[in-house]
Structure 1
């Protein structure tokens, strides 16, 4: 009896292990170069370092021009100089050339000032990035996270596995938190939770994208209406000024009936064209909004179908594995029973 109980206990542990393994490995990657380019402190310090490097290059170029002048002078005066003076000048030129080469190596060599200062500049940001990666990996259960810009060869990387923007958000959050009040901090935390939820749920991210596009379309309609209203107001002001000038001219007996009729026709044409443009802008916005809604529904349906299919396959696989384990346990139990 004790043997049977032990065997059933081991079979249950094996079944749980198989179920845990079906979760799969979660992999992500970052682009360190992209992250560094979007960190303000790093870009400012990098620009300062580039200016310093440019100054070093100018110094090297100035020394090279001075050496070239000495060479040209020696070439021009060589016929008039003694051998001792020629050797002396050539030795001086050689010394200056070696000195300039040593200076270049000191500034731009493999272990030069430029490489060392770049390393010192990037290290604090890299440390912050590694800390942010560890936090994201622990919070979202990543098994591996790679660096796309390193020596690791990535023949293909799907964009959905790129967590570079998440890392940037973590870095920016840390910097912002130090400058926020308690109320602002609470609002920022709510915004962060919303961003994290969209990272985990593609359907929610698509929905938010659709809402943003809808808001942009609505803002465009409002802006177009405002523009049309401003144009109408401008035309009204111009017309008012014209009427006042015509009234003044009429008092003086200089206004003509034909000019008044022509101005009325112009006003009618402008108002008609403005109304047509307004209607067309509204119709275009409604059509675009309907197309976006249809596309969102279609994408959402596809995502749900794919997820349902994946869950069904996973469930079927787990059931098959459980059935196999049960069958093996039953056969083993039967063998033990027959032996006893």
Structure 2
């Protein structure tokens, strides 16, 4: 969903709810995931697969380069039919290398699927914790500072990252500044972790 449409729908939902019932919060999922050993392990596994596939592709092009050098060295001794056969082999090898590269690193390729597979578990773990905290704190909305749709200003009173970290048993030390400047704004709504009403930032 495009940001503009999401923003319009969000505004509509916010305006539809009674002001006194609207309560929201946000978390920094990027920071939370960065503290998870399971997530770090997944990143390490992804790097290993990427390195292996990169080496496979590099090996294919090394082989092609050797064939090209051999062909150029022997070209003067080859008949026309032999030249065509060699050129056809080179062309096939180059096509295979390109196709394999696209298969691995192309849109929704093997690396994309491997990332999705390895990231599924830590992402689901974080999402379950966020959902649990949202229900416990009776929130109507929970935003993510790490998403494409971010807030122009974030009041620390609305930051539930520490609650989620606690739920996951993670250390929240060295947490970055909770106030941030970004590119998109979210309409202010009433409610916070301590039930205080905030005013629209200027």
How high is the TM-score relative to the length of structure 2? 0.68
- 2:162 is the alignment partner of 1:145: no
Instruction: Give SS of 1:146's match.
Output: strand
| 1:159-200 C-alpha deviation (Å, 9 max, x unpaired) | 443322321221127xxxxxxxxxxxxxxxxxxxxxxxxx95
- 2:165 is the alignment partner of 1:168: yes
Aligned to 2:72: 75
Higher relative contact order (CA 8 A, sep 6+): 2
2:57 aligned residue (50, 60, 67): 60
- C-alpha distance in 2, partners of 1:84/1:22? 82
User: What is the root-mean-square deviation in Å for CA atoms of aligned residues?
Assistant: 2.5
| 1:279-312 C-alpha deviation (Å, 9 max, x unpaired) | xxxxxxxxxxxxxxxxxxxxxxxxxxxx8xx8xx
- C-alpha distance in 2, partners of 1:87/1:160? 73
The 1:85/1:140 distance shift into structure 2, 3 A limit, reads same
Any gaps of 5 or more consecutive residues in structure 2?
1-16, 171-191, 198-202
Which of the two has higher C-alpha Rg?
Answer: 1
- 2:115 is the alignment partner of 1:135: no
Aligned to 2:99: 102
Q: CA deviation at 1:137?
A: 1.4
Instruction: Give SS of 1:23's match.
Output: helix
| 1:235-273 C-alpha deviation (Å, 9 max, x unpaired) | xxxxxxxxxxxxxxxxxxxxxxxxxxxxxxxxxxxxxxx
How high is the TM-score relative to the length of structure 1? 0.42
Could you say which structure has the higher helix fraction? 1
- 2:114 is the alignment partner of 1:117: yes
Query: Moved runs in structure 1, 4+ residues, more than 6 A?
Result: none
Instruction: Give SS of 1:53's match.
Output: helix
